[in-house]
Structure 1
Amino acid sequence: MSRRIAWVLSNDIVGMDNQSFGMAEALGLECVKKRIVPAAPWKYLPPSLWLSPLKFLGEGSDPLQPPWPDAVIGTGRLNVAVSVAIKRASGGRTLNIRIQNPQIDLRQFDVIVAPEHDQCRGDNVLESLGAVNRVTQVRLDAAALKFTPQFADLPRPLIGVLLGGSNKRYSIDAAFAHDLADKLILALQQQGGSVLITPSRRTDAAAVAVLRERLAPYSAVIWDGVSENPYFAYLALADYLVVTADSVNMASEASFTGKPVFVAGLTGGKGKFEDFHRSLQARGCTRPFTGELTHWQYEPLDETRRVANEIKHRLGW
């Protein structure tokens, strides 16, 4: 029997793609990436106002035509209307699986996977603690095997630092980087070891520059953004992990490892990001980063596999 085919709708936003592909892979689907470039004025409008979304895609979009797939999976506002149109065009045969709250009528979807902090409720909604993702033990083992020689001579413990970028809630700027550097230096002075830092595409160059300067006297490796990204290797090889509070994805992925995960930049205030981080702390996955390194144990967070198994059960797969 051939594998079921899923079109994974992509707007070339890495964090969104990782969630969509992670869910498709966990469901055992054969993934076909479909790039979606919304055209004006539709890309500025909420999905409920898009007209004929399959006809008015922008230049660079992949063709969307029969044969229709067994499932369509997407994350984020910019491909919601397209996923609904595909299901309609297929005569309802294509399963519409949505990651995150679609912000339109939930009945348009067969399954919605929404993080708890989205507060999306419905009979077809499965809640996850944090973001579903592509982290698997197989991927971590492969990355560890590949990158171990590069880090074999570094003093331990290894402190992996996953940097995100500024958003409406958090500022990952030069001032933040100085504060983070202070805490990393404290950890190095108390415990020794090395720091491994991987910035994201969203990380302010000024913040990276501060960290390079401040950590220059210490054993520190900062990814150059050009060579192969060691992100999975850091998850696999680090003894401790530090993630910035702006990213639900990174905190979720780090918590998959079962290692101590520290969150830098928490405000302790209100909002869905802070609610999410409080939930992770309550589960025992994370603690605020103060520069003090401690060990603790918790059940690794593998929401992607848990949710995928529930979807399979509901669909009779």
Structure 2
Amino acid sequence: MIRVPSPALAGEGQGGGASSSLLPQATTIRVLSDGRAGHEAQTLGVAQALGVAPDIRCIASRHIYAALAPFAPADPRDAFAHAPPYPDIAIGAGRRTIPALRRLKRDSGGRTFTVYLNKPANGKSAADLIIAPRHDGLRGANVFSPLTPGNRITPERLAAARAAPDVRIAALPRPRVALIVGGDSRHGAFGAKDIAQLAHIAASLRASGHSVMATASRRTPMALRDALTLALAAPGGFFWNSAGANPYLSMLANADAIIVTGDSVNMVGEAIATAAPVYVVPPPGRRGKIDAYLTALADAGAIRLWSGALDYWRRAPVNATPDIARAVAQAYLVFAGPRP
């Protein structure tokens, strides 16, 4: 069993980039992708922080295999995901990637070091190293528990987006507020009251002299999209509704303040990787783990819950990705042993 480092403030990195020398030269990484944007943001963000361009293999399991994952065997149709040449490190996120991750471990004769991001339904034996954020409540010798999940937001990417902002964002006068909107999940759906609240936030900020730039996710219900389109139709408002390139990064980089719905751990984590004040609108439905996550972030001074008033308070960026990369690299080096 690989024991991972457990610094007192693990997962509370201040937005710095990981060194490109974390791993030995020529180390290979394979990312197993289930196609979900949130999972890819985590896996690719960790690979990026490790300084290695990953080999990305997509999982497209048939319905019966996907429904039974992670307990079913890997779908034979996904054989490409665990085929040779075997990588030194394999990273997966999402339960549908676990069967292929375990098959890759077996077929490589145990030589591939496997990493799973988030809490696996089949327990700590799912991978050599598990990166389960603190709010998941998973503990173990092979578990690293950062404050936030990994992401692809780096100081360098933010600086580049500020230096050359999307033209639609640059056209908005300051102060600019980014409204990052998620949507329905298995924990709850955005009802009429939630939709009205978000539309009111957008409209009231516009009326008070702020530019408001909003973006929707794949999960955003059409009624909420329509309400935001109407609320931001006036000058100084912008709502990205899937037309043209997604200016999400440009919004984060050029926002004087950010308001984000709390239904997505990833979206909140990406918002606090900036230096802007971040407000979270609590999501609808069951919120056990989400509430634990938001409470931890509020206690760390990374967010405030939205109460109707906007204040431009100061805070440092919070991004656990460099910590996660260091934990992966250190655990892998122990696993691989001394090199000649």
TM, length-normalised to structure 2:
0.85
Gaps of 5+ in 2: 1-23, 335-340
Closer/same/farther in 2, CA of residues 263 and 150 from structure 1, 3 Å limit = same
Aligned to 2:153: 135
2:66 matched residue in structure 1: 43
Assess if the C-alpha contact under 8 Å between 2:232 and 2:238 holds in 1: no
After TM superposition, the structure 1 = structure 2 runs for residues 174-185 of structure 1, keeping only pairs within 5 Å, are 174-185=192-203
Following the alignment from structure 2 to structure 1, what is the Cα–Cα distance between the partners of residues 210 and 123? 52
1:294-314 per-residue CA deviation (whole Å, 9 max, x = no partner) reads 122233111010121233233
Q: Select which of 11, 20, 43 maps to 2:43.
A: 20
Tell me how far 1:104 sits from its aligned partner: 1.9
The answer as to 2:116 corresponding to 1:94 is no
Structural mapping, 1:247-258, within 5 Å: 247-258=264-275
- Give the CA deviation at 1:194: 0.4
Structure 1 unaligned residues grouped into runs of 5+: none
After TM superposition, the structure 1 = structure 2 runs for residues 169-208 of structure 1, keeping only pairs within 5 Å, are: 169-190=187-208, 192-208=209-225
Residue among 45, 50, 57 paired with 2:77: 57
Q: CA deviation at 1:266?
A: 4.5
Equivalences for residues 105-184 of structure 1 within 5 A: 105-147=123-165, 149-184=167-202
Instruction: Decide whether aligned partners of structure 1 residues 113 and 199 sit closer, same or farther in structure 2, where only a CA change above 3 A counts.
Output: same
C-alpha RMSD over aligned residues: 2.1
Q: Tell me the CA shift for residue 196 of structure 1.
A: 0.4
Counterpart for residue 17 of structure 2: none
**SS of 1:41 mapped into structure 2:** helix
Using the TM superposition, give the Cα deviation of residue 163 of structure 1 relative to its aligned residue in structure 2, in angstroms.
1.0
C-alpha displacement at 1:168, in angstroms?
3.0
Displacement after TM superposition at 1:63 (Å): 5.3
2:107 and 2:48 map into 1 onto residues whose CA distance is: 24
1:228 aligns to what? 245
Q: Is the 8 A contact 1:115 1:131 kept in 2?
A: yes
Structure 1 counterpart of 2:254, which letter?
Answer: L
Give the Cα–Cα distance (whole angstroms) in 1 for the partners of residues 239 and 248 of structure 2. Answer: 11
- Which residue of the partner structure matches residue 307 of structure 1? 324
The aligned residue for residue 258 of structure 2 is: 241
Contact 1:164-1:172 within 8 A present in 2 as well: no
Q: In the superposition, relative to structure 1, how do residues 277 and 194 fare at CA in structure 2: closer, same or farther (>3 Å)?
A: same
Measured at CA, do residues 145 and 205 of structure 1 come closer, stay the same or move farther in structure 2, by a change above 3 Å?
A: farther
1:110 CA displacement: 1.8
Decide which of 65, 84, 90 is 1:72's aligned counterpart: 90
- For 1:156 and 1:30, locate their aligned partners in 2 and report how far apart those are by CA, in whole Å: 37
**Which AA in structure 2 matches 1:75?**
A
* Amino acid in structure 2 at the alignment position of 1:44: A
Q: Using the alignment, how far apart are the partners of 2:262 and 2:290 within structure 1? A: 8
Contact in 2 for aligned 1:264/1:288 (Cα 8 Å): yes
Aligned sequence identity (%): 33
Cα distance in 2 for partners of 1:40, 1:290 equals 43
Structure 2 contact 274–318 (Cα < 8 Å) conserved? yes
**CA distance 1:173–1:222, shift in 2 (3 Å):** farther
Question: 36-45 vs 155-164, which deviates more?
Answer: 36-45
Higher RCO (CA-CA < 8 Å; seq separation 6+): 2
The Cα offsets for residues 127-146 of structure 1, whole Å up to 9 and x where unpaired, read as 01122111111222222333
> Structure 2 counterpart of 1:10, which letter?
S
Q: Contact 1:183 / 1:290 at 8 angstroms: preserved in 2?
A: no
- Residues 291 and 41 of structure 1: is their aligned pair in 2 closer, same or farther, counting only changes over 3 Å? same
**1:79-118 CA deviation, whole Å, 9 max, x = no partner?**
1111011011101110101101112242342211111111
